[in-house]
Amino acid sequence: MSLLEVQNLIVEFPNRRGTLRALDDVSFSIAPGEILGVVGESGAGKSLTGASIIGLLEPPGRVAGGRIVLEGQRIDDLPHAQMRHIRGRRIGAIFQDPLTSLNPLYTVGQQLVETIHTHLPLDAAQARARAIELLQDTGIPAAEQRIDHYPHQFSGGMRQRVVIALALAAEPQLIVADEPTTALDVSIQAQIIQLLKSICKSRGAAVMLITHDMGVIAETCDRVAVMYAGRIAEIGPVHEVINHPAHPYTAGLMASIPDMDSERERLAQIDGAMPRLNAIPPGCAFNPRCPHAFERCRVERPDLMPAGATRAACWLHAADAQEAA
């Protein structure tokens, strides 16, 4: 059974001139312990998807359709207090800036112990011991002393390690990590991603890892969802999506990963830009940029359909889809 199912999710922002639809019919699942990457250009809808799952969509943004189901329980329509309990206990969150998750006025130990106390039946001494253990597991040196330090006494990378410890403090089943290394020094980004991967795998926690970096996806994830203009363009096992992309947009993203084997960086870009939400073209949203667009692409919108070993929202695979049906 899936741990998490996102079914036909629609997110809208009402404004004076009408309604902007930012996520349009997004569906995917995450299995227990799986690392799902979510990739796509800035503005594709990655963060809104994550925010919907953790119940932190900022008003006036709202879930206008579909459902989010965690282990059989619908969680997108829960009262705030109940959702706050699920967030923390069952779903942990990691954001780009570690200071979003840490309170500058409390030591990291106070924050860890409070989270542990809120969610787990441990006494004060046990909670502190667990907090120290978590800091050790996330690679904080001299954790017994560092636990009594304040967030500003840590470097950016160490701070993000503390945030990972905090996200895992109540043993959640799922971590939603939104660009967790984007704000960090390039030299430590890979270490933090490796830590996140190994610590979640060892605890059996699933991860939804949002990033715009296809290289990180390749090294970290089991499956990947490629988003474009508020929809999923392609989803499948990471090696299939990378080596045999079925959607022309995915193929374009792949071509922009620096080639390890050649001296020269290949930075073939896709011409043009992703459309604004109020100017999404009819048919396939990618059609103005697509080198393979044909008549049907300009009139009919493709949904995800079987495409080789992945699923892609692209009419080039309409024949595969028929065979699979």
Ligand X SMILES: Nc1ncnc2c1ncn2[C@@H]1O[C@H](COP(=O)(O)OP(=O)(O)O)[C@@H](O)[C@H]1O
Please report, as ranges, the residues that interact with Mg ion according to CB under 5 A: 47
SS3 of residue 136 by DSSP: helix
Q: Which stretch binds ligand SF4 (CB under 6 A): 50-58, 156-164, 211-219, 313-321?
A: 313-321
Q: Which of 37, 40, 151, 236 contacts ligand X by CB under 6 A?
A: 40
Shortest distance in whole angstroms from residue 20 CB to ligand X: 6
d(CA 158, CA 160): 5
64 within 8 A of 22, measured Cβ to Cβ:
no
57 interacts with ligand X by CB under 6 A: no
With respect to ligand SF4, which residue has the nearer C-beta, 70 or 226?
A: 226
Contacts of 186 (CB under 8 A, 6+ apart): none
Q: ∠ CA 129-95-107 to the nearest 5 degrees? A: 35
Shortest distance in whole angstroms from residue 130 CB to ligand SF4: 49
With respect to Mg ion, which residue has the nearer C-beta, 154 or 228?
A: 228
For residues 240-259, which are near ligand SF4 according to CB under 6 A?
A: 247-248
Q: Which of 61, 66, 88, 248 contacts ligand X by CB under 6 A?
A: 61
Q: Which stretch binds ligand SF4 (CB under 6 A): 70-78, 145-153, 203-211, 282-290?
A: 282-290
DSSP secondary structure of 10-44: EEEEEETTEEEEEEEEEEEEE-TT-EEEEE-STTS
Sign of CA pseudo-dihedral 161, 167, 170, 172: negative
Q: ∠ CA 138-144-147 to the nearest 5 degrees? A: 70
Shortest distance in whole angstroms from residue 227 CB to ligand X: 6
Ramachandran sector of residue 230 (left: φ over 0; alpha: ψ -120 to 50; beta: rest)? left
Sheet harboring 35-39: ordered strands across? Answer: 91-94, 174-178, 206-210, 35-39, 223-228, 231-237, 310-312, 305-307
* Binding partner of 209, given Mg ion, ligand X, ligand SF4, none, CB within 5-8 angstroms per partner class: none
Q: Which of 98, 287, 310, 321 contacts ligand SF4 by CB under 6 A?
A: 287
Contacts of 297 (CB under 8 A, 6+ apart): 283, 284, 287, 290, 315
302 interacts with ligand SF4 by CB under 6 A: yes
d(CA 225, CA 23): 14
208 within 8 A of 174, measured Cβ to Cβ:
yes
Shortest distance in whole angstroms from residue 27 CB to ligand SF4: 18
How many chain residues interact with ligand SF4 (CB under 6 A)?
13
Q: Which of 297, 304, 307, 321 contacts ligand SF4 by CB under 6 A?
A: 297
Please report, in angstroms and rounded to a whole number, the separation of the first and last CA atoms in the chain: 23
Q: Which of 70, 192, 216, 290 contacts ligand SF4 by CB under 6 A?
A: 290
Shortest distance in whole angstroms from residue 22 CB to Mg ion: 11
Judged by the rule CB under 6 A, the positions of this chain that interact with ligand X are: 13, 20, 22, 40, 42-48, 58, 61, 277
Judged by the rule CB under 6 A, the positions of this chain that interact with ligand SF4 are: 247-248, 284, 286-287, 290, 292-293, 297, 302, 314-316
